Amino acid sequence: MDIKRYAAIDIGSNGVRLLISNILLEKDLPPIFRKSALVRVPIRLGADTFETGNISENNIERMSDAMKAFKLLMNVHGVEKYRACATSAMREAQNGNAVIDKIKKNTDIEIEIIDGKKEADIIASTDLYQMLEENKDYLYVDVGGGSTEFTFISNGRKVASKSFKIGTVRLLETKDNMTQVWEEAENWVKKQTEHREEVTMIGSGGNIVRVYKMSNTGIGKPISLDYLKKQYKYLSGLTYEQRIREVGLNPDRADVIIPALQIYISAMKWSNAKKVIVPKFGLADGIIKTLYKERKSN
């Protein structure tokens, strides 16, 4: 057996993640991907970008410290290849490229800024399509801190995908009127799903995973639109402190979970979806898969 160790760094608007995976390779057998370590640090870059337009010096220093720590962890695990991707907060920051250059100089970690389409494509490279049933329609919704990626899938293939600047941190921090963006997202989803008898939503992102865990639903089973509505009503009725103390949410989750539920519920209404399935993979998992595919093609 040959074991490869790859790592993915996901630099989002609400947090930064390091995923280290073992890839088990045996002749004539499909590769097995197993998570070896997952570390998340709550650096909310979106709070800077969506309010001031720039990443603050404080968060640049925190990012540098995180990258130094990630590099040490990758060395300890024997990682042979990694990829670091930054999404909406970094790509919209006026000093985004300068931040990347500074982190490269301080830590020797190279960061790639990716657009919404690339982000959706990377996520789609996971095991997403293997879990879908043939002859069914799905709306994949990945809610991040700065943007939400929508992908419509029919008969096991991607029909269309689009990224909109609707994200949890953006909704909390921005003072701009978001009405037009909400309408554009609604119109796009309705156009893709019209005349479809039954659409199932696939929810991706830390917030929907947390809500799914709260449901105590069996592995692989969907949760309903009604359940999401009840959770939204329940959590909205609590203070930020109560969500931390009584529900057990982390401080950097206790505020963004409300706008996240707004986005998921809206997407289900627009597409007439009645249930949502929640796989446990996201951008970092997709990065690992793309690294492996690149290795095979070389």
Domain ranges of the chain: 2-116+284-297, 129-280
Flag whether pLDDT at 11 surpasses 90.
Answer: yes
Tokens of 254: 């206790």
Kindly compute the dihedral angle of the four CA atoms of residues 138, 144, 149, 151, in this order, to the nearest 10 degrees. Answer: -20
Say whether 129-280 and 2-116+284-297 share the same fold.
Answer: yes
Task: Write down the pLDDT at residue 158.
Answer: 86
At residue 35, the pLDDT reads 92
CA distance 233 to 217: 19
Chain segment 158-200, per-residue pLDDT in tens: 899 898 999 999 999 887 788 999 999 999 999 999 989 899 9
Q: Is 279 helix (H, G, I), strand (E, B) or coil?
A: coil
Q: Does the pTM of the predicted model rise above 0.85?
A: yes
Q: What class is the 2-116+284-297 domain? A: alpha beta
Element (H, E) at 262: helix 257-271
Condensed to tens digits (0 to 9), the pLDDT of residues 36-95 reads 999 999 999 999 999 999 999 999 999 999 999 999 999 999 999 999 999 999 999 999
Q: What is the CATH number of domain 129-280?
A: 3.30.420.150
Strands in 275-277's sheet, in edge-to-edge order, are 157-164, 148-154, 137-143, 199-204, 275-277, 223-224
Q: What's the CA gap between 168 and 242, in Å, rounded?
A: 19
pLDDT tens profile 23-34: 999 888 888 899
